Amino acid sequence: MASTKKVAENMLWGGRFTQGLDPLMVQYNTSLPYDRLFYAQDIAGSIAFARANLKGGILSQDEFNAIEKGFEQIREEWRTNSFVVQENDEDIHTANERRLSEVIGKEIGGKLHTGRSRNEQVATDMRLWLREELRRIEGWLEDLIKVAVSRSEAEIDALMPGYTHLQKAQPVRWSHWLLSHATAFSLELERLREVIKRVNRSPLGCGALAGNPFKIDREAMAKELGFDGLLYNSMNAVGDRDFAFETLQWGSSFMLKISRWAEDLIIYSSLEFGFVRLADAYSTGSSLMPQKKNADSLELLRGKSGRAFGHMAGLYCTIKGLPTTYNKDLQESVEPLIDHIKTVGDSIQIATGVLSTLTIHPEKMLAALAPEMLATEFADYLVRKGVPFREGHYISGRVVALAENEGVPMDKLSLEQLKGVDPRLGDDVVECLDYERAVELKDATGGTSKSAIREQIVILKKILARN
């Protein structure tokens, strides 16, 4: 094993140091075990930087060709898992540059880093990688919304209790419940698209903090790498991790939504409710009780939301007190970001699998409806007869109280009993006890009638089509 002094000498910054490093410090400082994930982005950024230095006269055409060809070989080594990591490869940037000098020689390889800093490299690599990962997540989130929309169209006839305070409130369509969450997800989709725009800005060409002295064309590099534009202050560009923090904020917000969605389905899939049944692919059993079918997929979604929140809170605490520009603390933005992206991406795909394969039981949903959920219909009935709503609400409450005192459901009260509460409750008041009618009356935009639900579906399809 090489001495720790030799390790320091071989670092990109090693010329300044004459003593060895504590072996634990070497391990503590190294980020290659996780930032090797950025190998393709680091190589793409290096080639773009080399091309800019070619145009600026720092590199000859032959030197650029050698660098580009060397990186093509190195990219293939990473892809095929044949890249041999050395002890002094502290990060992906060091590893790639070291290997380039081995492949094409130090005389040319040593020119690659002219005017460039790892401070701008890591920010560039992270943004390139994150941009593509968020675009993949965008596609998965669109798929989840599409499944909810598709089921809403196909299962629009199913009625179920709607809840407030987890108490039965008013009848709604199953499709309305589906679209309530699909709407929340669509808002997260729109936010995600905005986050991607802010991630996709280039810091390349900003140097360590003060900028580049070789008249490098930052616009050309940004265009080659597919960035939408530049970060215009070099100090801000290398020290900024807002793009990572905003991603973690977005992911935490989405995971909050998916956690609530999962909680509903956990309740609805319980034996006490029985509204839905999860496919075996997204359930587990009990090691002791053979009758159990546990909604572990949904419980994990609910649980992993806490993990996502932790990523965000941890980075917030890391960056809140840092002085201007780059500090090594910012290395702590990489691992949580990588884990966050995997957690959120996997969660969306699991949620889509759950929703696309679960079975609904409309008969159990219908059986769970209770006549008392139609009490508001009595108040609305009276409003249509000119009775002030507050008075109608009071009369409706008296009907509920009468049913409770008689020990019968509201729909078992006789017409005479209803008229005894208030003579304005006419013969046609029994129409208020029709669940389908109650649902169809909620036809204003955003309501639970078929027409309102179909309107919501059109809106969601338009949002999906904006990509």
Looking up residue 453, the CATH number of its domain turns out to be 1.10.40.30
pLDDT tens track for 21-53:
788 888 888 999 999 999 999 999 999 999 999
Instruction: Say what the pTM is.
Output: 0.92
Residue 392 lies in a domain: yes
Structure confidence at residue 284 (pLDDT): 77
Do 87 and 217 share a structural domain?
A: no
Residue 3 lies in a domain: no
Residues above pLDDT 70, as percent of the chain: 94
Tally the domains of the chain: 3
pLDDT tens track for 409-463:
888 888 999 889 998 999 999 999 999 999 999 999 999 999 999 999 999 999 9
Do 279 and 181 share a structural domain?
A: yes
Task: Please state, in angstroms and rounded to a whole number, the distance separating the CA atoms of residues 148 and 166.
Answer: 22
Q: Which of 367, 397, 417 is the last residue of a domain?
A: 367
pLDDT over threshold 60, residue 2: no
What is the number of alpha carbons within 13 Å of residue 100 lying toward its C-beta? 30
Structure confidence at residue 347 (pLDDT): 98
Residue 400 lies in a domain: yes
Do 403 and 257 share a structural domain?
A: no
Mean pLDDT value across residues 397-416: 90
Residue 68 lies in a domain: yes
Q: Which domain holds residue 399?
A: 371-465
Q: Which residues are catalytic?
A: 165, 286
Do 225 and 358 share a structural domain?
A: yes
Structure confidence at residue 3 (pLDDT): 47
Lowest mean pLDDT among 174-188, 277-291, 335-349, 423-437: 277-291
Give the DSSP letter string of 206-222: -TTTT--SS---HHHHH
Task: Please state, in angstroms and rounded to a whole number, the distance separating the CA atoms of residues 183 and 172.
Answer: 16
Task: Please state, in angstroms and rounded to a whole number, the distance separating the CA atoms of residues 203 and 231.
Answer: 6
Do 389 and 358 share a structural domain?
A: no
Q: Which of 319, 343, 367 is the last residue of a domain?
A: 367
Mean pLDDT value across residues 370-388: 92
Task: Please state, in angstroms and rounded to a whole number, the distance separating the CA atoms of residues 252 and 340.
Answer: 9
Do 266 and 402 share a structural domain?
A: no
Using alpha carbons only, give the angle 6, 11, 14 rounded to the nearest 5 degrees. 75
C-alpha of 87 from chain center: 36
Task: Please state, in angstroms and rounded to a whole number, the distance separating the CA atoms of residues 39 and 80.
Answer: 12
Do 241 and 151 share a structural domain?
A: yes
Q: Which of 66, 97, 114 is the last residue of a domain?
A: 114
